[in-house]
Amino acid sequence: MRLSEPALAKLNLALHVRRRRADGYHDLETLFAFCTDGDMLHVETSERLGMAIEGPFAPGLSAGSDNLVWRAAELLAQAADVEARAAITLDKRLPIASGIGGGSADAAAALRLLTRFWKIDPGHAAAVAPRLGADVPACLLSMTTRGTGVGEQLEVIDVGSLSGTAVLLVNPRIPLSTPQVFAVWDGMDRGPLADWREGRNDLQQPAISLVPEIGEVLQWLEEQPGAAIARMSGSGATCFALFDSEADRTRAAFACPEKWWNLATFLR
Ligand code: C5P
């Protein structure tokens, strides 16, 4: 038996950081949205837990027990009281440590995939998700949601007109560590998230201070004809622009400098 499950790229359409907490995490308000493309996971029958990684961003990723997909499989098996038997293949198409889910989306896809493969109660995946990372519950749903707390308290919202919007993701091919970006946030609360269009990503300036090329990516995106909103996602370095039309988005994708990674996709 072979089953597959997509790990859709996550975007933070806006991300307001409100305060640093005593446990080192940050309370935030964010609007999560998902793209129609991302990584892909496959699972096949096996006597034990195994993992392989293929695809353009496989090099540099470990396929061992320190991989979030592996940890997801172990925690889920434990929670459901089943043997962790599965041969998982991760097709890694999204850049690593790039603010668009990556590890979190892969872990969440592993939870959905193994829930089907092991025929277990979906409640176990929901229970295990927050233990794998702040963004994993949102990625488990992979729906447009408003996130509060550290991003794990979710409210599904209908931003009807967003679905099907043409979007271009651009990454300067420089990985960024999430804790490092939060660590250089200036601690200033710039207010709650109301209308996401009028909102911001409070991690954008901290990320630019670490990787100035993010500023160039954003400027380039803003200059593209038909680009309505250009912003960084998560803790970076991937930036996105939402376009008025698919044609404008596709034109921008062709014009994107070779030195940067890009993905032409749609909001789900
Ligand atoms: O939960 P996750 O492992 O994805 O978070 C990675 C790091 O990002 C945390 O260790 C923390 O430093 C930072 N973080 C944060 N506040 C959040 C989410 C993540 O400070 N709301």
* Residues 57 and 182 occupy one common structural domain: no
What CATH number corresponds to the domain at position 122? Answer: 3.30.230.10
Distance from the alpha carbon of residue 150 to the mean position of ligand 1, in angstroms: 8
Q: How far apart are CA 112 and CA 94, in angstroms?
A: 19
pLDDT at position 161: 84
Cβ-based burial of 135 (10 A; exposed 0-12, middle 13-18, buried ≥19): buried
* Residues 51 and 144 occupy one common structural domain: yes
- For residue 150, give the nearest of 170, 167, 131, 171 by alpha carbon: 131
Tokens of 157: 């919202």
* Residues 96 and 18 occupy one common structural domain: yes
97 touches ligand 1 (CB under 6 Å): no
* Residues 25 and 116 occupy one common structural domain: yes
Distance from the alpha carbon of residue 16 to the mean position of ligand 1, in angstroms: 14
* Domain extent at residue 243: 166-266
151 touches ligand 1 (CB under 6 Å): yes
- Does the pLDDT value for residue 19 go beyond 90? yes
Q: Among 25, 106, 153, which residue has the most ligand 1 atoms within 8 Å of its CB, making it the best to mutate?
A: 25
- The reply to whether 208 falls in a domain is yes
- The reply to whether 221 falls in a domain is yes
Q: Around 146, how many Cα atoms within 13 Å sit in the side-chain half-sphere?
A: 10
- Does the pLDDT value for residue 160 go beyond 80? no
Q: Residue 156 forms beta bridges with which residues? A: 145
pLDDT band at 193 (very low <50, low <70, confident <90, very high): very high
- The reply to whether 160 falls in a domain is no
The DSSP bridge pattern shows strands 86-91 and 49-54 to be parallel
Residue 60 region by backbone torsions, left for phi larger than 0, else alpha for psi between -120 and 50, else beta: left
Q: How far apart are CA 119 and CA 207, in angstroms?
A: 42
25 touches ligand 1 (CB under 6 Å): yes
CB 133 within 8 A of CB 233: no
134 touches ligand 1 (CB under 6 Å): yes
Pick the last residue of a domain from 87, 122, 155. Answer: 155
pLDDT, one tens digit per residue, over 93-125 is: 999 999 998 899 999 999 999 999 999 999 999
pLDDT band at 53 (very low <50, low <70, confident <90, very high): very high
* Residues 47 and 117 occupy one common structural domain: yes
Distance from the alpha carbon of residue 101 to the mean position of ligand 1, in angstroms: 12
Distance from the alpha carbon of residue 128 to the mean position of ligand 1, in angstroms: 17
CA 123 to chain CA centroid, Å, is 22
- The residues that are catalytic are 10, 135
Q: Among 17, 178, 201, which residue has the most ligand 1 atoms within 8 Å of its CB, making it the best to mutate?
A: 178
Give the residue, by CA position, lying nearest to ligand 1 atom 12: 179
- Average confidence score pLDDT of the chain: 97
pLDDT at position 106: 97
70 touches ligand 1 (CB under 6 Å): no
Tokens of 266: 């749609």
Report the SS3 class of residue 154: strand
Pick the last residue of a domain from 155, 186, 221. Answer: 155
* Residues 122 and 86 occupy one common structural domain: yes
pLDDT, one tens digit per residue, over 56-94 is: 999 989 998 889 999 999 999 999 999 999 999 999 999
* Residues 78 and 151 occupy one common structural domain: yes
Distances (CA, A) of 109 to 34, 35, 40, 55, 92: 13, 14, 8, 17, 12
137 touches ligand 1 (CB under 6 Å): no
How many independent structural domains does the chain possess? 2
What count of other Cβ atoms lies within 10 Å of the Cβ of residue 18? 16
* Residues 186 and 144 occupy one common structural domain: no
- Does the pLDDT value for residue 192 go beyond 80? yes
* Residues 122 and 224 occupy one common structural domain: no
